[in-house]
Structure formats: C-alpha cells, structure tokens
Structure 1
C-alpha cells in the first residue's frame, strides 16, 4: 500500500532505518554486510555444527577498521558509537560468535587498555590489536563469580617488583586465541587489572566444550598458577570494579545493536520461507495466522532497531548512563529471542535445520541474553535507578 508521498514499505526494512543513517554509517554497514555475505554466511552452519571459529577473519576485520573502531588513536579510527553499533548488527546477522569476537576484542580488551593502560601499554598492544594481528580476551568471570564479580577469588600479590597471579576465569571469549589476557584480580589494595602475555609461564587457556550455544565461537577457561608478571603489566589507571564495569558497558552497547542483526536474519528467513513454501494450494504467507506472525516480527524488529539508533545517537551526543544501556540490552535481547522463536515456528521442521539460520541464532541468543549481565541483573539495575532502592543485595 502506497502512502500519500508515494513511499512504499520495504519488507526488509519496515521502519526505513536506512534513511536515518548517515552516508558514512551506510558505507561501513555495506562494507561489513558484503564481508558477512562472502566470508561468514557460506560456511557458518558447518562451523556451528563442528564448533569451530575461523580465526583468519581477524586480520580481515582489522583491515576494515572495525576492531576498536570507536576508540581514538593508536591505530584506531575513532568512529562514532552509532557506526560501531551498525557494524555489530551486521556481524551478528552473520553469527553472534563473530560479533562476540569483535566485541570482546574492541570493547573489552582494547577498551581496558585504551582507558586504563599506560602509554607504553597502549603503544605495545593497541595498534596490532586494531589490525587483528594480536588478539585479546577479558578475564573477569569466575566459576563462583558471575553476576557478582566482587566475589572474585583470583588474586595478585606483590613479590618484589613483580606480581604473582593465581586463580581461574571461565566463559572467556577468545581465550584460546589470545596473545594478551586482561585479567582482573584481587590485591591488598582492591581489584586491579593486569595485562598477561599468554605465553607467560603459569598461564594456561583451555577450550570449554559441550556447548549448545555460541558453538562457532571460542570460549575458554583461563588458569593462572603462580603466573608472574612485572609491575609494568598492571593497568595503572584501573582501580576497583568501576574499571571492568565500564568496559562491560561498552560491550553491552554493542549487544543492543547486535541482537537486532540476529533478529533481522530470523525475520528475513521467515519472510522468505513463508512467501515460497506452499501448503493447501498457496504460499503459507497467504494465511492470516502466518501474516500475523510476520507482522509482529517486523514491528518488534523495527522497534528494537529504533531503540538501538536512539541510544546510539544519545551516546554520540552526551554519553549513556549504565541504566540506559541496561534498558537497551534487556529490551532488545528479549525482542530478538522472541523473533527467533516465532521464526522457528514459521519454518516448521525446517526451523531446526542448519540449512537455515534460525535455530543457530535462537540458541546463540540464549547466551546473549545471559552474558554481560543477566535479565535479572539488568532489571534490578533499572529498578534501582527508578526507585532509588537497591534490590540487588
């Protein structure tokens, strides 16, 4: 149906998000979209099934300037938060594991070095990490310290001019790929961050297996047993939990956008399937109940995209409060997984086949809505901001 202006609704962009992006944002989006189509989508189903990650894409992502793209200097292009978000959406359209790789590299590991590192640390690590030549991971979560990182048991004690680290981190994306691990540990002066070269004696990374989500992603355990590093490995500006939580806020912003990419992939798969799959003599898109599902997915997707865009613009203008980021992650995570589940139903039996992207995205999103803050934690963080009452503890 045409409007009075002659504009027709685009089924693949129902809220005309494209018109709200700048030329620069559309250019980087199109570049990454081509990369995903050519390098990720052809074999992502097989990689998911075999639980492998194509680490060769690191330097390709680096050459496109998307690793640490929102950071300034040291080989980083200093692009807008919205541009970074648009890239996250395109990468997660391919797979959550690809977006997670870039997000951990840029918004966790590189962000920690950029915000809290010394000049020597920045010059040593950031340029090769931006190029994808060196990989980083972010060691915060522990077996007994997930939603409450203040409970961490990993320790760092002074021994002369060095620090000796002991402890275990788990659910660490990129761990077994990394050249440097940003490790958060408890010291006599509180929680501090350390840059641990993964070749250091006493450091070991082990792959976590038996995953049924984020299978095309490297998830690891980090073990530190008498791991000795010089004081120059300590992040000098990082003191207390505020530092790692600031990095998490950056990564969560990428998730707000990334989930819209996964949701779009599921919605488009359902739309394509419904308009070509025939039952009872016509495409199933011709039935009212199927149309209702498609409409609900399109409306919810558009709403999630507009929320991501709004938060991106606000972040570029004046920054975001942590609770605003929580609103975005909570809302868009929920929306994306509901779209995935609805799309799975539209595809019927085909919905559980890796020939289509839906079941892969659906299971990936089960992790995405939990990591970097569960729904419960984000809900209570928002509730605290609304009421002034802390119900988390």
Structure 2
C-alpha cells in the first residue's frame, strides 16, 4: 500500500453530479487504500483499513484533537458523545443506553413493533387512493420522525421547525471554504444553536413535569454514573433527534429504490416475510444511509500498513466504499439478500457503533414489508431519482412511485 495524493477522485465523489452513483469512484479510490490529500488529510477507502481505524484507540472522534480545525464543528456547546473519546464517551453512552436498550431496558425496541406497524399501516392508508406517491414525503420521512418524537417527547407539531434546522445542519457537514458560500456554514451553525435552544426549553419543562419519554428519564434518573448535566442531555437529545430519523429516511428510501430495481427480490419478499431480516442487512452494505465519516483525528501517529498518519491529521473514512471492497465481499456490486458473512459497515463499528441501529433495522423491516405487501405493481417514475445534496448522508430527495407501473 502506497500513499499518494488522489484529490481529483475525492473531489468527484463529493461533487453533486456523482450522487446518484458514487460506487465506480469508490472503486477508483480503493486503488490507494490510504490516500493523503493536498490539505494533509487522509482518505481511507478499504474495508480492512477502515475497520482497523474504527477499533484503534489512537483514532479520536474529538475534533479538538485536529491540528487543522473543521469549520462546521467550531462551536462552544457541549459535544454529544458521538464526538467524544473514552472515558467521557463511554460514560455518556452508558447513561443514554440505560433508557434506550439492553441491559436496563432490553424490551424497548422489540416492544415498539405494534406501534411501528400501526404508523406504517396508517401512512399507507393515507395514500391508498393516490396513483402516484412520493415515498420520501409521504412515507419515509414522516414514519421515523413520528417514532423519534414519540420516544424523546418532542411534540410532533413542531416537526416543521426542526426539519429546517436539521436540513441546514446536515448541509453544513461537508462545508468546504474553498468552494462553498459562507452562508452554508452560517446557516448550519445557527441551526445547531436553534435546535439546542429548542431542546433546552423542552428539558426545562421535564424538570417540573416529568413523563415517560426519554428526555424526562434522562433529566430525572440517578444511575450508577450519576445524572447527566442539562447540557449533556441536550447534546444527547440533539444527536438522537437527528440520527433517529435522518439515517432511517435514507435507509427506507434506498431500500425501496433497490427493490424496484430488483423486481425478483421484491416478489420474493412479498411471498417470504422472513426474507426482510437478511435483506435489510444487505441494504446496509449495498446502499447504506451513511456513506462517509468525514472526520476523525489521529490522537497520535498511526501506523496503517506502510503509511504513517501523523498526529493531529484529519481522517475521512469512506464506509460505503469499504462495504463494497472486493477483498472482503465476493461480487460486492451485486445485491444479494442471501449473502453470508455480511459484516458490513452500514452502522460503523467499534465503540461508536450506531446507537440506534436496532431501532433503524426494525423500522426498515416493517416499512419495506408493509410497502411491498400493500402497493400493487409499483413502478419508478424516474431512475435515477433526484438526490439530496449531502455525500455523507446519501439518499433520494424524492422517490416518485406509480401504482400499476411495474
């Protein structure tokens, strides 16, 4: 493995013109598994090297360890645990997990299945008379938003407010001062402030009038690690609100698009409900909702193969490229729900393995099963569909489907 500069390939991946199909460019990028960029950052694109970094204690998630600051992350607010390292990361993640999953609340996600099914059925009932639907606006967005609002205790009627904030925040993630207008960064910074202020106001209400929602539980629970500060609770709620729906919207929409492109698999799923479990795992490999971890920091000099990544360097992990690495997955560009040994990178790996992965899996399983079962002969209106701007959280902006179009 040699380290060379490949700025043009990365630039084309990040350019919107490649959003519909970045995979040939990922294959080009994998020729140099660890590629130094002109700005001194490193792009890692192969499965083995990505996994090694995700499990390396010298790979930091705290951007304060970067020599070159990230403009989109320059804020004075308390970071969420996803942007922290042990031991603070571990403490905060444990405190949040007490109310979100095993071992303290092991039945939470599984117990949501009837609730999730009712939402899916209601949404599909809502467009029963439509000949054409937008899977994003009519289904894939409102479904996980309803779920995460319910879990956190966020009023569903406030969705339009935080939808704008989240969009501005996501759009600012890949801000490049050399090509992007400063307004893109400013809107993201302001959105982050507005969203946290909004969540802080909700938290204040929970102190005086706690309920059964996650905000209330975090605000009033004294576990083995003590109680989170209000700033830590707001940071955690901010993370869960964004990650709790953004990635699932993409996973559901990418999933339905993939099924429409593979009608034989769709027919199999309609006849065999159990297929949905391995099918969603293959979707997480083949068309994942998160394509890139745009920044990690080298906490010290990292030896990766025959490359030394210097301390303080920015590292960009190309997760979607790693999940299509032919050295790890046979026929990686083939969608195969029967694939064995499918240890994809769809939810990352290591200590930052996606906190909400079990919920996203169940939501997508129920969503795709319901859509396939109840929409007759669906057909794509446009292929490829228009995509969202972000190369990091990649998915269609709209997905128009016609009934009796297949």
Kindly indicate which of the two structures has a greater share of residues assigned to strand. 1
* TM-score (ref. length: structure 1): 0.28
Query: What TM-score, normalized by structure 2, do the two folds share?
Result: 0.28
